[in-house]
Amino acid sequence: MDFSRMCPKYESSIDIIGKKWTGLIIRVLLDGPKRFKDIKEQIPNMSDKMLTDRIKELEGLDIIVRNVYPETPVRIEYELTPKGKDLRVVIEAIQAWGERWMPAP
């Protein structure tokens, strides 16, 4: 891999993945489709508005899809698209690095 010159595709990717909360939301959804409140439960410090905004961004980027199930009451779940699921290797690499180098909290 050539690191001697910056690459615009790398720049845009890290802008997406590194954005505050985004890397946490994607990690939660790697566990499978989740409702809004289930995502919130894993990331309690994030406000509802922030999660709403991030979900919209990630839908716009085709990383998350919103599934509406016409039940009573209606059930809405968020799920990673193939593009989103393909981030698994990135998230796992970050997790593995953290386990090797981050001090215990």
Q: Retrieve residue 36's tokens.
A: 């809004």
Query: Of 81, 84, 83, 76, nearest to 22 (Cα)?
Result: 84
Please report, for residues 23, 63, 84, the alpha-carbon distance to residue 13 in angstroms, rounded to integers and kept in the order given.
12, 12, 12
Nearer to its own copies, 4 or 72 (CB): 4
Measured between alpha carbons, how far is 56 from 24 in angstroms, rounded to an integer?
A: 15
By the rule CB under 8 A, 102 interacts with its own copies: yes
Q: How far is the CB of 53 from its own copies (least distance, A)?
A: 17
By the rule CB under 8 A, 76 interacts with its own copies: no
Nearer to its own copies, 20 or 73 (CB): 20
Residue ranges that bind its own copies, judged by CB under 8 A: 1, 3-14, 17-20, 22-24, 27-28, 30-31, 42-43, 83, 86-87, 89-102, 104-105
